[in-house]
Amino acid sequence: MLRKKTQLRETVCELIESFPRGKKFAYGDLYRYLEQNYPKECSERGDAAKEPRYRHDARAAVWDFMPSGLGLIRRTGIRGERERL
C-alpha cells in the first residue's frame, strides 16, 4: 500500500538518514526538531483527535525505517528510544 508522505514526514526521514550509525534518539527529539525548525508547518498541519498531526508524521517516519521497512532503525529496549543502524 502506497502511503501519502507529508513534507514533515519527509523532513524527519532525511534527519534520521543523516544520523551517524549508533546514534540513539527518542520521539521527543524528533518532535523538538520539528517544533524548533518548522513551527509554521507544524501549526498548519493542525491537530488530530488526540494529538498534533506533526507528531504522527514524526512517528510514521520512524516506522518507515524500522525492520519491517528499510531496517535502518531498531528499538533499544527503552520505551520510545530508537537506535540508528
Which residue segments constitute the domains of the chain, with CATH numbers given? Answer: 7-84 (1.10.10)
Q: What integer pLDDT is reported at residue 1 of this predicted model?
A: 37
Radius of gyration, CA atoms only, the chain:
13
Q: What integer pLDDT is reported at residue 82 of this predicted model?
A: 94
Q: What integer pLDDT is reported at residue 80 of this predicted model?
A: 86
Q: What is the mean pLDDT of each run of 10 residues along the chain (85 residues)?
A: 73 93 95 94 84 91 82 89 93
Q: What integer pLDDT is reported at residue 45 of this predicted model?
A: 84
- This prediction has a pTM of 0.85
Q: What is the largest CA-CA distance in the chain?
A: 35
Q: How many CA atoms lie within 13 A of 12 on its CB side?
A: 30
